[in-house]
Amino acid sequence: MRGQRGVTAVELTIVLVGLLVLVGTATPTVNAALDGFRASGATWDLYSAVHLTKARARTTGVMHGLVIEPDGRGFRVVEDPVGAAATVEGPHPLPDGAIASSNANIRFSPNGFAVPAGTITIRSGGEVRRLVVNLLGRVRVASGEGP
């Protein structure tokens, strides 16, 4: 029957194998991009939280601290972190797959100074971002592991 049109099993198999190869090569790239998006999102969430913590300390005249949850999957802002440690914001979760850790409990005095200064490290897959808070309470974002 010369008038019939269709696809043979061999042609269909070749197309499916080609699609599987394309999907297989694209998956690592997509996963790396997702890790980068998660790390960036968590970094900017924490960047905003640092500024909020500093602003609350200056506005209220009481020391405030940014507390990373023990599992690293969230954070909260506390008033009087050395005393009663009352939570005033949060807990706020980080994007799934992002983990934060800190080398110090970053607190801000009523003057806006960080007591002590410190670094918050955010990890998601192979992506690493750092928030470096200096004694003046200024924050900068850095990529990769610290020195």
Please check whether residue 43 is in contact with residue 134, taking contact to mean a CB–CB distance below 8 angstroms: no
All structural domains of the chain: 9-143 (3.55.40.10)
Strand partners, 99: 123
Dist. CA 31–CA 68, nearest whole Å? 26
Structure tokens at 41: 């999102």
- 1: pLDDT strictly greater than 60: no
Q: Check residue 26 and give its pLDDT.
A: 65
Residue with tokens 């690592």: 28
Q: pLDDT digits over 84-105, tens only? A: 788 888 899 988 888 898 888 8
CA angle in degrees (0–180, nearest 5) for 20-22-28: 105
Q: pLDDT digits over 120-134, tens only? A: 999 888 889 999 999
**Strand bridging mode 106-108 / 64-68:** antiparallel
